[in-house]
Structure 1
Protein backbone atom coordinates (compact mmCIF):
# COMPACT_ATOMS: atom_id res chain seq x y z
CA UNK A 1 0.00 0.00 0.00
CA UNK A 2 1.32 3.44 -0.95
CA UNK A 3 0.76 6.82 0.70
CA UNK A 4 -0.10 8.21 -2.76
CA UNK A 5 -3.27 6.10 -3.01
CA UNK A 6 -6.64 7.79 -2.33
CA UNK A 7 -8.81 7.66 0.77
CA UNK A 8 -12.23 6.14 0.03
CA UNK A 9 -15.37 7.60 1.59
CA UNK A 10 -18.76 5.98 1.18
CA UNK A 11 -22.32 6.74 2.17
CA UNK A 12 -25.76 5.65 1.05
CA UNK A 13 -26.15 9.03 -0.61
CA UNK A 14 -24.78 12.54 -0.41
CA UNK A 15 -25.01 13.30 3.30
CA UNK A 16 -21.43 12.11 3.60
CA UNK A 17 -20.35 15.18 1.65
CA UNK A 18 -20.54 16.99 5.00
CA UNK A 19 -17.89 14.59 6.31
CA UNK A 20 -15.89 14.84 3.09
CA UNK A 21 -15.72 18.63 3.49
CA UNK A 22 -14.26 18.22 6.98
CA UNK A 23 -11.79 15.59 5.74
CA UNK A 24 -10.53 17.77 2.90
CA UNK A 25 -10.28 20.77 5.19
CA UNK A 26 -8.01 18.92 7.59
CA UNK A 27 -6.13 16.81 5.01
CA UNK A 28 -5.85 18.98 1.87
CA UNK A 29 -2.99 16.93 0.40
CA UNK A 30 -4.98 13.70 0.33
CA UNK A 31 -6.80 12.41 -2.74
CA UNK A 32 -10.35 11.25 -2.06
CA UNK A 33 -12.77 8.90 -3.82
CA UNK A 34 -16.34 9.51 -2.67
CA UNK A 35 -18.91 6.81 -3.43
CA UNK A 36 -22.64 7.48 -3.03
CA UNK A 37 -24.60 4.24 -3.09
CA UNK A 38 -27.75 5.97 -4.29
CA UNK A 39 -29.00 2.87 -6.07
CA UNK A 40 -30.02 1.61 -2.62
CA UNK A 41 -30.89 4.89 -0.92
CA UNK A 42 -32.20 5.08 1.76
CA UNK A 43 -30.16 2.61 3.81
CA UNK A 44 -32.52 3.20 6.72
CA UNK A 45 -35.17 1.11 4.97
CA UNK A 46 -32.83 -1.85 4.37
CA UNK A 47 -32.38 -4.90 6.58
CA UNK A 48 -29.29 -5.24 8.73
CA UNK A 49 -28.29 -8.39 6.84
CA UNK A 50 -28.47 -6.56 3.51
CA UNK A 51 -26.41 -3.65 4.83
CA UNK A 52 -23.71 -5.98 6.17
CA UNK A 53 -23.43 -7.80 2.83
CA UNK A 54 -23.52 -4.58 0.85
CA UNK A 55 -21.02 -2.81 3.08
CA UNK A 56 -18.49 -5.65 2.90
CA UNK A 57 -18.84 -5.93 -0.88
CA UNK A 58 -18.30 -2.18 -1.34
CA UNK A 59 -15.31 -2.16 1.00
CA UNK A 60 -13.68 -5.08 -0.82
CA UNK A 61 -14.27 -3.37 -4.17
CA UNK A 62 -12.75 -0.13 -2.85
CA UNK A 63 -9.64 -2.07 -1.80
CA UNK A 64 -9.35 -3.43 -5.33
CA UNK A 65 -9.75 0.09 -6.65
CA UNK A 66 -6.68 1.10 -4.64
CA UNK A 67 -7.98 2.80 -1.50
CA UNK A 68 -5.41 3.20 1.29
CA UNK A 69 -8.02 3.95 3.97
CA UNK A 70 -11.79 3.89 4.30
CA UNK A 71 -14.24 6.28 5.94
CA UNK A 72 -17.74 4.89 6.44
CA UNK A 73 -19.50 8.26 6.24
CA UNK A 74 -22.90 6.87 7.17
CA UNK A 75 -24.25 6.25 10.66
CA UNK A 76 -26.68 3.61 9.39
CA UNK A 77 -23.97 1.65 7.56
CA UNK A 78 -21.72 1.90 10.61
CA UNK A 79 -24.43 0.58 12.91
CA UNK A 80 -25.18 -2.41 10.67
CA UNK A 81 -21.88 -3.25 8.99
CA UNK A 82 -18.80 -1.68 10.60
CA UNK A 83 -17.70 -4.83 12.47
CA UNK A 84 -18.16 -7.00 9.38
CA UNK A 85 -16.23 -4.51 7.21
CA UNK A 86 -13.35 -4.34 9.70
CA UNK A 87 -13.17 -8.14 9.68
CA UNK A 88 -13.20 -8.31 5.87
CA UNK A 89 -10.58 -5.75 4.81
CA UNK A 90 -7.14 -4.84 6.13
CA UNK A 91 -7.38 -1.06 5.84
CA UNK A 92 -7.34 1.80 8.33
CA UNK A 93 -11.08 2.38 8.84
CA UNK A 94 -12.93 5.27 10.43
CA UNK A 95 -16.61 4.60 11.09
CA UNK A 96 -19.24 7.15 12.02
CA UNK A 97 -21.51 6.87 15.00
CA UNK A 98 -23.69 9.40 16.84
CA UNK A 99 -21.67 11.51 19.28
CA UNK A 100 -23.44 10.34 22.44
CA UNK A 101 -20.30 10.45 24.61
CA UNK A 102 -19.29 14.08 23.89
CA UNK A 103 -22.94 15.14 24.05
CA UNK A 104 -23.38 13.62 27.51
CA UNK A 105 -20.15 15.27 28.68
CA UNK A 106 -21.28 18.67 27.38
CA UNK A 107 -24.85 18.54 28.71
CA UNK A 108 -25.75 20.73 31.69
CA UNK A 109 -29.38 19.62 31.95
CA UNK A 110 -28.58 15.91 31.85
CA UNK A 111 -30.85 15.39 28.84
CA UNK A 112 -29.50 14.97 25.32
CA UNK A 113 -31.29 14.37 22.03
CA UNK A 114 -30.22 12.20 19.12
CA UNK A 115 -31.67 12.69 15.64
CA UNK A 116 -30.94 9.65 13.44
CA UNK A 117 -32.46 7.11 11.08
CA UNK A 118 -34.74 4.40 12.40
CA UNK A 119 -32.16 1.76 11.46
CA UNK A 120 -29.37 3.49 13.40
CA UNK A 121 -31.46 3.91 16.55
CA UNK A 122 -32.75 0.33 16.50
CA UNK A 123 -29.29 -1.21 16.11
CA UNK A 124 -27.43 -3.14 18.77
CA UNK A 125 -24.42 -0.89 18.18
CA UNK A 126 -26.43 2.19 19.17
CA UNK A 127 -27.75 0.46 22.29
CA UNK A 128 -24.18 -0.37 23.28
CA UNK A 129 -23.11 3.19 22.55
CA UNK A 130 -25.75 4.58 24.91
CA UNK A 131 -25.06 1.95 27.56
CA UNK A 132 -21.31 2.52 27.51
CA UNK A 133 -21.06 6.27 27.01
CA UNK A 134 -24.24 8.12 28.01
CA UNK A 135 -23.28 8.05 31.67
CA UNK A 136 -26.18 9.33 33.70
CA UNK A 137 -27.64 11.38 30.85
CA UNK A 138 -31.19 10.86 29.70
CA UNK A 139 -31.08 10.11 25.97
CA UNK A 140 -34.05 11.10 23.80
CA UNK A 141 -33.61 9.09 20.59
CA UNK A 142 -35.72 10.58 17.80
CA UNK A 143 -36.05 8.59 14.60
CA UNK A 144 -36.37 10.72 11.45
CA UNK A 145 -37.84 8.49 8.73
CA UNK A 146 -37.76 10.10 5.32
CA UNK A 147 -35.64 13.11 6.27
CA UNK A 148 -32.36 12.11 4.60
CA UNK A 149 -33.92 11.22 1.27
CA UNK A 150 -36.13 14.34 1.33
CA UNK A 151 -33.05 16.53 1.82
CA UNK A 152 -31.49 14.84 -1.23
CA UNK A 153 -34.64 15.07 -3.32
CA UNK A 154 -35.74 18.63 -2.50
CA UNK A 155 -32.58 20.22 -1.15
CA UNK A 156 -32.17 21.59 2.39
CA UNK A 157 -34.73 24.36 1.79
CA UNK A 158 -37.43 22.08 0.41
CA UNK A 159 -40.94 22.53 1.85
CA UNK A 160 -41.28 18.91 2.93
CA UNK A 161 -37.98 19.14 4.81
CA UNK A 162 -39.39 21.87 7.04
CA UNK A 163 -42.55 19.88 7.70
CA UNK A 164 -40.55 16.82 8.74
CA UNK A 165 -38.29 18.88 10.99
CA UNK A 166 -41.31 20.37 12.75
CA UNK A 167 -42.35 16.90 13.87
CA UNK A 168 -38.91 15.47 14.63
CA UNK A 169 -37.39 18.37 16.58
CA UNK A 170 -40.38 19.26 18.76
CA UNK A 171 -40.05 16.23 21.12
CA UNK A 172 -36.41 17.12 21.85
CA UNK A 173 -37.33 20.70 22.69
CA UNK A 174 -40.20 19.53 24.89
CA UNK A 175 -37.93 17.09 26.74
CA UNK A 176 -35.46 19.85 27.64
CA UNK A 177 -32.47 18.50 25.72
CA UNK A 178 -29.64 21.03 25.79
CA UNK A 179 -27.36 19.12 23.38
CA UNK A 180 -28.70 17.54 20.18
CA UNK A 181 -26.62 15.05 18.23
CA UNK A 182 -26.91 15.11 14.44
CA UNK A 183 -26.79 11.35 14.01
CA UNK A 184 -26.97 11.24 10.20
CA UNK A 185 -24.56 12.85 7.79
CA UNK A 186 -27.44 14.51 5.92
CA UNK A 187 -28.56 16.52 8.94
CA UNK A 188 -25.73 19.11 9.03
CA UNK A 189 -27.18 20.44 5.76
CA UNK A 190 -30.22 21.57 7.78
CA UNK A 191 -28.45 22.39 11.06
CA UNK A 192 -29.64 26.00 10.99
CA UNK A 193 -33.26 24.92 10.55
CA UNK A 194 -32.92 22.44 13.41
CA UNK A 195 -31.41 25.10 15.66
CA UNK A 196 -34.25 27.52 14.93
CA UNK A 197 -36.73 24.93 16.19
CA UNK A 198 -34.91 24.53 19.51
CA UNK A 199 -34.70 26.90 22.49
CA UNK A 200 -31.85 29.38 22.55
CA UNK A 201 -28.65 27.92 23.96
CA UNK A 202 -29.15 24.34 22.76
CA UNK A 203 -25.95 23.00 21.16
CA UNK A 204 -25.83 20.87 18.01
CA UNK A 205 -23.14 18.22 17.78
CA UNK A 206 -21.77 17.09 14.41
CA UNK A 207 -19.02 14.45 14.29
CA UNK A 208 -17.40 15.47 10.97
CA UNK A 209 -14.38 17.17 12.56
CA UNK A 210 -13.83 14.28 14.97
CA UNK A 211 -13.84 11.85 12.04
CA UNK A 212 -11.26 13.98 10.23
CA UNK A 213 -8.98 14.01 13.28
CA UNK A 214 -9.28 10.24 13.66
CA UNK A 215 -8.45 9.65 10.00
CA UNK A 216 -5.39 11.87 10.35
CA UNK A 217 -4.24 9.85 13.39
CA UNK A 218 -4.70 6.52 11.59
CA UNK A 219 -2.86 7.68 8.47
CA UNK A 220 0.05 8.96 10.55
CA UNK A 221 0.19 5.73 12.55
CA UNK A 222 0.21 3.69 9.32
CA UNK A 223 2.74 6.02 7.64
CA UNK A 224 0.22 6.66 4.88
CA UNK A 225 -0.41 10.38 5.24
CA UNK A 226 0.02 12.67 2.25
CA UNK A 227 1.18 11.78 -1.22
CA UNK A 228 -1.81 13.22 -3.04
CA UNK A 229 -2.67 16.55 -4.61
CA UNK A 230 -6.16 17.21 -3.29
CA UNK A 231 -7.82 15.37 -6.18
CA UNK A 232 -11.47 14.50 -5.64
CA UNK A 233 -13.46 11.86 -7.53
CA UNK A 234 -17.19 11.46 -6.94
CA UNK A 235 -19.05 8.34 -8.06
CA UNK A 236 -22.51 6.86 -7.67
CA UNK A 237 -24.16 3.49 -8.16
CA UNK A 238 -27.22 5.37 -9.42
CA UNK A 239 -27.72 7.90 -12.18
CA UNK A 240 -24.77 10.31 -12.48
CA UNK A 241 -26.96 12.95 -14.10
CA UNK A 242 -29.50 13.21 -11.29
CA UNK A 243 -26.87 12.80 -8.58
CA UNK A 244 -24.71 15.51 -10.15
CA UNK A 245 -27.50 18.07 -9.80
CA UNK A 246 -27.81 17.34 -6.08
CA UNK A 247 -24.04 17.30 -5.56
CA UNK A 248 -23.69 20.72 -7.16
CA UNK A 249 -26.52 22.14 -5.03
CA UNK A 250 -25.14 20.77 -1.77
CA UNK A 251 -21.42 21.28 -2.45
CA UNK A 252 -21.86 24.76 -3.85
CA UNK A 253 -19.83 24.17 -7.00
CA UNK A 254 -19.81 21.74 -9.90
CA UNK A 255 -18.22 18.35 -9.25
CA UNK A 256 -18.17 15.75 -12.05
CA UNK A 257 -19.90 12.51 -11.07
CA UNK A 258 -19.11 9.14 -12.60
CA UNK A 259 -20.95 5.83 -12.46
CA UNK A 260 -19.26 3.11 -10.44
CA UNK A 261 -20.79 -0.25 -9.68
CA UNK A 262 -18.32 -3.10 -9.13
CA UNK A 263 -19.53 -6.24 -10.85
CA UNK A 264 -19.64 -8.24 -7.64
CA UNK A 265 -21.53 -5.64 -5.59
CA UNK A 266 -25.19 -6.60 -5.62
Structure 2
Protein backbone atom coordinates (compact mmCIF):
# COMPACT_ATOMS: atom_id res chain seq x y z
CA UNK A 1 0.00 0.00 0.00
CA UNK A 2 1.26 3.48 -0.89
CA UNK A 3 0.57 6.37 1.49
CA UNK A 4 0.06 9.64 -0.32
CA UNK A 5 -1.33 12.88 1.06
CA UNK A 6 -2.63 15.14 -1.71
CA UNK A 7 -3.25 18.89 -1.43
CA UNK A 8 -5.22 21.37 -3.61
CA UNK A 9 -2.26 22.91 -5.45
CA UNK A 10 -0.96 19.50 -6.55
CA UNK A 11 -1.41 18.44 -10.18
CA UNK A 12 -3.87 16.02 -11.70
CA UNK A 13 -2.21 13.14 -13.59
CA UNK A 14 -3.81 11.95 -16.83
CA UNK A 15 -2.52 9.05 -18.90
CA UNK A 16 -3.28 6.99 -21.96
CA UNK A 17 -1.55 4.49 -24.22
CA UNK A 18 -0.87 7.42 -26.54
CA UNK A 19 -2.61 10.53 -27.83
CA UNK A 20 -6.18 9.34 -27.32
CA UNK A 21 -6.32 10.78 -23.82
CA UNK A 22 -5.97 14.26 -25.31
CA UNK A 23 -9.70 14.02 -26.07
CA UNK A 24 -10.26 13.74 -22.29
CA UNK A 25 -7.60 16.31 -21.43
CA UNK A 26 -9.36 19.00 -23.45
CA UNK A 27 -12.59 18.46 -21.49
CA UNK A 28 -10.70 18.62 -18.18
CA UNK A 29 -8.96 21.87 -19.18
CA UNK A 30 -12.30 23.37 -20.21
CA UNK A 31 -14.16 22.38 -17.03
CA UNK A 32 -11.31 22.79 -14.51
CA UNK A 33 -9.14 25.57 -15.98
CA UNK A 34 -7.25 26.33 -12.75
CA UNK A 35 -5.86 22.82 -12.26
CA UNK A 36 -2.22 21.92 -12.88
CA UNK A 37 -2.10 18.91 -15.20
CA UNK A 38 0.46 16.26 -16.12
CA UNK A 39 -0.20 14.15 -19.20
CA UNK A 40 1.59 10.86 -19.90
CA UNK A 41 1.44 9.16 -23.31
CA UNK A 42 2.77 5.61 -23.33
CA UNK A 43 3.17 5.81 -27.10
CA UNK A 44 6.25 3.60 -27.06
CA UNK A 45 4.03 0.72 -25.95
CA UNK A 46 0.83 1.57 -27.85
CA UNK A 47 -1.68 0.22 -28.52
CA UNK A 48 -2.89 -1.35 -25.29
CA UNK A 49 -5.88 -3.05 -26.94
CA UNK A 50 -3.90 -6.03 -28.24
CA UNK A 51 -1.81 -6.58 -25.08
CA UNK A 52 -2.56 -9.07 -22.25
CA UNK A 53 -4.42 -7.50 -19.34
CA UNK A 54 -1.62 -8.16 -16.83
CA UNK A 55 0.93 -6.48 -19.09
CA UNK A 56 -1.31 -3.42 -19.47
CA UNK A 57 -1.74 -3.32 -15.70
CA UNK A 58 2.05 -3.32 -15.24
CA UNK A 59 2.32 -0.30 -17.52
CA UNK A 60 -0.48 1.46 -15.63
CA UNK A 61 1.23 0.93 -12.29
CA UNK A 62 4.52 2.21 -13.64
CA UNK A 63 2.91 5.35 -15.05
CA UNK A 64 0.92 5.89 -11.86
CA UNK A 65 4.14 5.63 -9.85
CA UNK A 66 5.68 8.32 -12.05
CA UNK A 67 2.69 10.62 -11.58
CA UNK A 68 2.56 10.07 -7.82
CA UNK A 69 6.28 10.84 -7.65
CA UNK A 70 5.38 14.14 -9.35
CA UNK A 71 2.91 14.80 -6.52
CA UNK A 72 -0.35 14.02 -8.34
CA UNK A 73 -3.47 14.47 -6.21
CA UNK A 74 -5.70 12.52 -8.62
CA UNK A 75 -5.29 10.13 -11.54
CA UNK A 76 -7.39 9.97 -14.68
CA UNK A 77 -7.03 6.70 -16.57
CA UNK A 78 -7.92 8.18 -19.97
CA UNK A 79 -7.96 4.83 -21.75
CA UNK A 80 -10.79 2.31 -21.88
CA UNK A 81 -8.48 -0.71 -22.10
CA UNK A 82 -6.36 0.48 -19.17
CA UNK A 83 -9.50 1.11 -17.12
CA UNK A 84 -10.72 -2.43 -17.75
CA UNK A 85 -7.30 -3.93 -16.99
CA UNK A 86 -6.11 -1.94 -14.00
CA UNK A 87 -8.37 0.67 -12.41
CA UNK A 88 -9.66 -1.62 -9.64
CA UNK A 89 -6.12 -2.58 -8.58
CA UNK A 90 -4.96 1.03 -8.85
CA UNK A 91 -7.62 2.11 -6.35
CA UNK A 92 -6.27 -0.48 -3.93
CA UNK A 93 -2.68 0.59 -4.52
CA UNK A 94 -3.46 4.30 -4.04
CA UNK A 95 -6.34 4.50 -1.55
CA UNK A 96 -5.72 8.20 -0.84
CA UNK A 97 -6.03 9.31 -4.46
CA UNK A 98 -9.13 10.16 -6.47
CA UNK A 99 -8.90 7.82 -9.48
CA UNK A 100 -11.24 8.23 -12.44
CA UNK A 101 -11.47 5.66 -15.21
CA UNK A 102 -13.32 5.80 -18.50
CA UNK A 103 -15.89 3.48 -19.94
CA UNK A 104 -18.04 3.60 -23.07
CA UNK A 105 -21.02 5.93 -22.60
CA UNK A 106 -23.77 3.34 -22.75
CA UNK A 107 -26.08 5.14 -20.33
CA UNK A 108 -26.10 8.49 -22.16
CA UNK A 109 -26.40 6.59 -25.44
CA UNK A 110 -29.48 4.75 -24.19
CA UNK A 111 -30.97 8.11 -23.23
CA UNK A 112 -30.11 9.65 -26.61
CA UNK A 113 -31.33 6.91 -28.95
CA UNK A 114 -34.73 7.38 -30.53
CA UNK A 115 -35.21 3.88 -31.94
CA UNK A 116 -33.40 1.89 -29.24
CA UNK A 117 -30.47 0.79 -31.41
CA UNK A 118 -27.01 1.89 -30.29
CA UNK A 119 -23.74 1.08 -32.05
CA UNK A 120 -20.65 0.79 -29.86
CA UNK A 121 -17.25 1.39 -31.47
CA UNK A 122 -14.41 0.19 -29.24
CA UNK A 123 -11.34 -2.02 -29.03
CA UNK A 124 -11.73 -5.78 -28.83
CA UNK A 125 -10.35 -5.79 -25.27
CA UNK A 126 -12.91 -3.24 -24.09
CA UNK A 127 -15.86 -5.04 -25.67
CA UNK A 128 -14.78 -8.40 -24.23
CA UNK A 129 -14.29 -7.07 -20.69
CA UNK A 130 -16.53 -8.47 -17.97
CA UNK A 131 -17.14 -4.99 -16.54
CA UNK A 132 -18.31 -3.67 -19.90
CA UNK A 133 -20.55 -6.66 -20.59
CA UNK A 134 -22.14 -6.38 -17.16
CA UNK A 135 -22.78 -2.67 -17.74
CA UNK A 136 -24.27 -3.41 -21.16
CA UNK A 137 -26.62 -6.03 -19.76
CA UNK A 138 -27.73 -3.79 -16.88
CA UNK A 139 -28.50 -0.82 -19.10
CA UNK A 140 -30.14 -2.96 -21.78
CA UNK A 141 -32.42 -4.51 -19.16
CA UNK A 142 -33.26 -1.15 -17.61
CA UNK A 143 -33.88 0.75 -20.84
CA UNK A 144 -34.64 -1.83 -23.51
CA UNK A 145 -31.82 -0.46 -25.67
CA UNK A 146 -30.09 -2.85 -28.07
CA UNK A 147 -26.31 -2.45 -28.16
CA UNK A 148 -24.58 -3.42 -31.40
CA UNK A 149 -20.92 -4.07 -30.62
CA UNK A 150 -18.28 -3.28 -33.24
CA UNK A 151 -14.61 -3.97 -32.49
CA UNK A 152 -12.41 -1.52 -34.39
CA UNK A 153 -9.13 -3.32 -34.91
CA UNK A 154 -6.37 -0.96 -36.00
CA UNK A 155 -8.32 2.30 -35.69
CA UNK A 156 -6.52 3.55 -32.59
CA UNK A 157 -3.22 2.83 -34.36
CA UNK A 158 -4.22 4.98 -37.32
CA UNK A 159 -5.08 7.87 -35.02
CA UNK A 160 -1.88 7.39 -33.03
CA UNK A 161 0.08 7.66 -36.28
CA UNK A 162 -1.67 10.95 -37.11
CA UNK A 163 -3.69 9.41 -39.96
CA UNK A 164 -6.83 11.31 -39.07
CA UNK A 165 -8.32 11.74 -42.54
CA UNK A 166 -6.27 9.45 -44.76
CA UNK A 167 -7.91 7.16 -47.32
CA UNK A 168 -6.98 4.14 -45.21
CA UNK A 169 -8.57 5.58 -42.06
CA UNK A 170 -11.70 6.59 -43.99
CA UNK A 171 -12.01 3.10 -45.44
CA UNK A 172 -11.57 1.59 -41.99
CA UNK A 173 -14.23 3.84 -40.50
CA UNK A 174 -16.63 2.97 -43.29
CA UNK A 175 -16.00 -0.74 -42.76
CA UNK A 176 -16.86 -0.43 -39.06
CA UNK A 177 -19.67 2.13 -39.19
CA UNK A 178 -21.66 1.09 -42.27
CA UNK A 179 -22.85 -2.26 -40.78
CA UNK A 180 -24.09 -0.48 -37.65
CA UNK A 181 -26.07 2.02 -39.70
CA UNK A 182 -27.42 -0.81 -41.85
CA UNK A 183 -28.76 -2.42 -38.68
CA UNK A 184 -30.55 0.82 -37.84
CA UNK A 185 -28.29 2.37 -35.19
CA UNK A 186 -29.19 6.02 -34.67
CA UNK A 187 -26.59 6.55 -31.93
CA UNK A 188 -22.89 5.66 -31.93
CA UNK A 189 -20.75 5.40 -28.81
CA UNK A 190 -17.12 6.43 -29.32
CA UNK A 191 -15.84 3.78 -26.92
CA UNK A 192 -12.12 4.55 -27.13
CA UNK A 193 -10.61 7.89 -26.18
CA UNK A 194 -8.78 8.00 -29.52
CA UNK A 195 -12.01 8.03 -31.53
CA UNK A 196 -13.29 11.56 -30.72
CA UNK A 197 -10.11 12.84 -32.34
CA UNK A 198 -11.49 11.70 -35.71
CA UNK A 199 -15.06 12.84 -35.08
CA UNK A 200 -15.07 14.95 -38.26
CA UNK A 201 -14.10 11.91 -40.33
CA UNK A 202 -16.72 9.80 -38.55
CA UNK A 203 -19.39 12.38 -39.38
CA UNK A 204 -18.30 12.39 -43.04
CA UNK A 205 -18.53 8.59 -43.20
CA UNK A 206 -21.98 8.64 -41.60
CA UNK A 207 -23.14 11.17 -44.19
CA UNK A 208 -21.63 9.15 -47.05
CA UNK A 209 -23.51 6.08 -45.82
CA UNK A 210 -26.79 7.96 -45.84
CA UNK A 211 -26.99 8.29 -42.06
CA UNK A 212 -29.11 11.14 -40.73
CA UNK A 213 -29.35 12.59 -37.23
CA UNK A 214 -26.93 10.02 -35.81
CA UNK A 215 -25.88 11.02 -32.29
CA UNK A 216 -22.23 10.57 -31.30
CA UNK A 217 -21.46 9.92 -27.62
CA UNK A 218 -18.06 11.08 -26.30
CA UNK A 219 -17.58 10.43 -22.57
CA UNK A 220 -14.75 12.96 -22.07
CA UNK A 221 -17.10 15.55 -20.57
CA UNK A 222 -18.55 13.02 -18.11
CA UNK A 223 -15.02 12.06 -17.01
CA UNK A 224 -14.12 15.71 -16.41
CA UNK A 225 -17.27 16.25 -14.37
CA UNK A 226 -16.64 13.16 -12.25
CA UNK A 227 -13.09 14.37 -11.59
CA UNK A 228 -14.46 17.75 -10.53
CA UNK A 229 -16.96 16.14 -8.17
CA UNK A 230 -14.31 13.97 -6.53
CA UNK A 231 -11.88 16.87 -6.08
CA UNK A 232 -14.59 19.09 -4.64
CA UNK A 233 -15.77 16.38 -2.23
CA UNK A 234 -12.19 15.93 -1.00
CA UNK A 235 -11.55 19.67 -0.69
CA UNK A 236 -8.89 19.44 -3.40
CA UNK A 237 -10.12 21.86 -6.05
CA UNK A 238 -7.39 24.37 -6.87
CA UNK A 239 -8.44 28.00 -6.51
CA UNK A 240 -7.69 30.62 -9.16
CA UNK A 241 -4.27 32.16 -8.62
CA UNK A 242 -3.31 35.05 -10.88
CA UNK A 243 0.30 34.79 -9.72
CA UNK A 244 0.59 31.07 -10.54
CA UNK A 245 -1.44 30.18 -13.63
CA UNK A 246 -2.38 26.57 -14.32
CA UNK A 247 0.40 24.68 -16.02
CA UNK A 248 0.44 21.59 -18.21
CA UNK A 249 3.44 19.33 -18.65
CA UNK A 250 3.68 16.09 -20.60
CA UNK A 251 5.76 12.94 -20.77
CA UNK A 252 6.01 10.27 -23.45
CA UNK A 253 7.68 6.88 -23.71
CA UNK A 254 8.30 7.55 -27.42
CA UNK A 255 9.15 10.76 -29.30
CA UNK A 256 8.73 14.16 -27.64
CA UNK A 257 8.60 15.73 -31.08
CA UNK A 258 5.73 13.46 -32.10
CA UNK A 259 3.72 14.17 -28.94
CA UNK A 260 4.33 17.91 -29.29
CA UNK A 261 3.02 17.73 -32.85
CA UNK A 262 -0.05 15.83 -31.64
CA UNK A 263 -0.81 18.43 -28.96
CA UNK A 264 -0.55 21.16 -31.56
CA UNK A 265 -2.55 19.49 -34.33
CA UNK A 266 -5.21 17.81 -32.20
CA UNK A 267 -6.03 20.36 -29.49
CA UNK A 268 -4.05 23.44 -30.49
CA UNK A 269 -1.66 23.84 -27.55
CA UNK A 270 2.10 23.53 -27.12
CA UNK A 271 3.09 22.34 -23.63
CA UNK A 272 6.60 21.23 -22.69
CA UNK A 273 7.10 17.52 -23.43
CA UNK A 274 9.77 15.21 -22.03
CA UNK A 275 10.75 11.72 -23.09
CA UNK A 276 10.88 9.19 -20.25
CA UNK A 277 10.89 5.49 -19.47
CA UNK A 278 8.94 3.67 -16.81
CA UNK A 279 10.34 1.33 -14.17
CA UNK A 280 7.97 -1.61 -14.27
CA UNK A 281 6.85 -3.32 -11.05
CA UNK A 282 7.69 -6.99 -10.72
CA UNK A 283 4.14 -8.15 -11.36
CA UNK A 284 0.87 -6.44 -12.18
CA UNK A 285 -0.76 -8.00 -9.14
CA UNK A 286 1.78 -6.54 -6.75
CA UNK A 287 0.03 -3.78 -4.86
- Shared fold (TM-score, shorter chain, > 0.5): yes
| Distance verdict in 2 for CA 1:165–1:152, change over 3 Å | same
The residue that corresponds to 2:252 in the other structure is 236
CA distance in 1, matches of 2:69, 2:269: 30
TM-score scaled by length of structure 2: 0.88
Check the 8 A contact 1:44/1:76 in 2, yes or no: yes
CA distance in 2, matches of 1:49, 1:134: 29
The residue that corresponds to 1:73 in the other structure is 78
Per-residue displacement from partner, 1:40-71 (whole Å, max 9, x unpaired)? 10001101111122212322332222100011
* 2:19 partner SS: coil
The residue that corresponds to 1:197 in the other structure is 205
> What does residue range 80-119 of structure 1 map to in structure 2 within 5 Å?
80-90=85-95, 91-119=97-125
Aligned length: 266
1:220 aligns with 2:227: no
CA distance in 1, matches of 2:159, 2:91: 30
1:161 aligns with 2:166: no
CA distance in 2, matches of 1:235, 1:202: 36
1:57 aligns with 2:51: no
CA distance in 1, matches of 2:269, 2:229: 29
* 1:28 partner SS: coil
Per-residue displacement from partner, 1:187-211 (whole Å, max 9, x unpaired)? 1111122123331111000011111
CA distance in 1, matches of 2:98, 2:269: 30
Give the drift of 1:161.
1.1
* 1:156 partner SS: coil
Check the 8 A contact 1:8/1:71 in 2, yes or no: yes
Superposition RMSD on alpha carbons, in Å? 1.6
The residue that corresponds to 2:285 in the other structure is none
| Distance verdict in 2 for CA 1:253–1:62, change over 3 Å | closer
> What does residue range 1-80 of structure 1 map to in structure 2 within 5 Å?
1-80=6-85
CA distance in 1, matches of 2:277, 2:67: 11
The residue that corresponds to 1:250 in the other structure is 266
Check the 8 A contact 1:60/1:89 in 2, yes or no: no
Give the drift of 1:107.
1.4
CA distance in 1, matches of 2:134, 2:91: 18
Per-residue displacement from partner, 1:93-141 (whole Å, max 9, x unpaired)? 1110000111112212111011011111111111111022233211111
CA distance in 2, matches of 1:63, 1:256: 19
TM-score scaled by length of structure 1: 0.95
Highest Rg: 1 or 2?
Answer: 2
CA distance in 2, matches of 1:218, 1:64: 21
* 2:23 partner SS: helix
* 2:75 partner SS: strand
